[in-house]
Amino acid sequence: MSSSSTYNAGLLSSSMGLKVIKITRVNPATDSSRDSADPLILPLTFFDLRWVRSHPTQQVIFYKLPVSSREFFHSVILPKLELSLSLVLRHYFPLAGHLKWNQQDPKPRVVVYSHDTVSLTVAESNADFLFVSGKGLRPQTELRVLVPELSVSCDSSSLYSLQITLFPNQGFCIGLAEHHVLKDGVGSIMFIKAWAHICKSLGEGIMTLPSDFIPILDRTLINVRPSLESKILEYMSYFSDEEDGKRTMDPPPVGEICTDLVRITLELTQENVDKLKERAKRESTRSQHELHLSTFVIVNAYVWSCLVNARGGNKERPLLFMYAADFRNRLDPLVPERYMGNCVVLVNCIGYKGKHLLGRDGFVSAVEILSDSVKGLGSRGIEALWESYIDGMKQVKPDTHVESVSGSTRMGLYQADFAWGKPVNHEIVSIDRYPAYSMWERRDETGGAEIGLCLRKSEMDTFISLFEYGLGKISSRI
């Protein structure tokens, strides 16, 4: 690994004492097959194009350390993290590249030169690690300083950056910012687990990856009709700046982030999910054969209905709920799980109003809505789903209550052990920039889900009350 560093030991965050120790550039380990002045070009597929103007996804992963003095961290832990990062980037080298859009090209593309690098910031915090990394109520500002940003302009964007923050004598965290245009959540978590695998294996003298962690970059695996790409390119308002109409890759403005945001991580156990399923069966007017009662449907129906009630009151307010459907096993031919690119379609549930989810019957109504949507994926092709998505977005009004879910309970992020134990917590920090919550597998138990939320304090208090009351109500009935 080669790197150049700039030091800025005086940079402090306003919310807690965060000092930047250094900013380095990490090169992918040398690979003779990439020793060329010519760049690698990765074309964007239909699935990638939707994310060209997306805001970076920012996540933070916390690790508790039995020994975490400054000396031990900088002499043992950090060198292992940097070396293993360089080694894993040998396989994931597109992360060091850039999204480029030349004037003569009809669409952007990923361009990777052999000298490209990933930015790594090393910082130190004097905050209470147990508090910041916990799952209880915390100010969002405590987490936002732990993640880096991407460099984005109208015609170029970096794709990945990292920040490692030490909490002396407590632990450390890995913050990341990534451009969704390069890969979806499957590829994102696969990279973290691959990096962790190499780092842990360094103690055994192993510097290679098993095949399960080696990404597949071949874009020709995506077999969709060319007309689909044409349709998204025709949807030019998505690629244009609203003021002058010129094409751009800058994310749309989101306004100022509220300063009173708090976040929490809540759990739904497998027992909770099973009891919610029984409630849906008991209270729905539909037969069990008509309902698709997966964990995904049950968990999201419960969270969505609680959010509408926490923020609601207006029965006529339009509702929109969005989720991403993985199409790896729905294309012909099937797309390998190790494919590092986007292979998800956004699905929206629209045409409903607050009155459908307000009150006690809201949960069952949400189950029926999401059940219909998920069951419909089996019979609807990509083209129909894309057209439905566009039609739905055209119906969105300024007062529409929008919610969406990020993450999945099937990705296994808590398996990412860098040699110092599995993570104590994992958060999607960037859900403060759009109306979304996260959904992951539980750290210590199988089944159920972890739900990460970021809301205004007043809304959060109401949400938690509704969330806990609803679960207690079920328990008292069973």
CB crowding 452-475: b at 16 or more within 10 Å, else e: bbbbbeebbebbbebbeebbeebe
In CATH terms, are 18-30+37-238 and 261-410+430-476 the same topology?
Answer: yes
CATH topology of domain 18-30+37-238: Chloramphenicol Acetyltransferase (3.30.559)
Q: How many C-beta atoms lie closer than 10 Å to residue 374's C-beta? A: 18
CA distance 127 to 137: 15
In sequence order, what are the beta bridge partners of 156?
100
According to DSSP, the β-strands at 109-112 and 98-100 are antiparallel
**Amino acid identity of 37?**
A
Residue with tokens 């986007």: 342
Packing angle, helices 270-283 and 362-376, rounded to 10: 100
What does the pLDDT profile of the chain (478 residues) look like in tens digits?
444 333 333 333 334 589 999 999 999 998 656 666 789 999 999 999 989 989 999 999 999 998 778 999 999 999 999 999 999 999 999 999 999 998 888 889 999 999 999 999 999 999 999 999 999 999 999 999 999 999 988 889 999 999 999 999 999 999 999 999 999 999 999 999 999 999 999 988 888 899 999 999 999 999 998 888 888 877 655 565 555 656 778 888 776 677 789 999 999 999 999 999 999 999 999 988 899 999 999 999 999 999 999 987 789 999 999 999 999 999 999 999 999 999 999 999 999 999 999 998 999 999 999 999 999 998 888 888 988 988 888 889 999 999 999 999 989 999 999 999 999 999 999 999 888 999 999 999 999 999 999 999 999 999 999 999 989 865 444 3
Q: How many C-beta atoms lie closer than 10 Å to residue 336's C-beta? A: 13
CA distance 455 to 436: 10
The full set of domain ranges for the chain reads 18-30+37-238, 261-410+430-476
Which residues are marked as active site? 180, 417
Residue 407's contacts (CB-CB under 8 Å, 6 or more residues apart) are: 185, 428, 438, 439, 440, 452
Dihedral of the alpha carbons of 191, 192, 196, 199, in degrees to the nearest 10: 60
**Yes or no: is domain 261-410+430-476 CATH 3.30.559.10?**
yes
Can you give the pTM of this predicted structure? 0.92
Task: Let me know: does 409 contact 452? Beta carbons within 8 Å.
Answer: no
412: left (phi over 0), alpha (psi -120 to 50) or beta: left
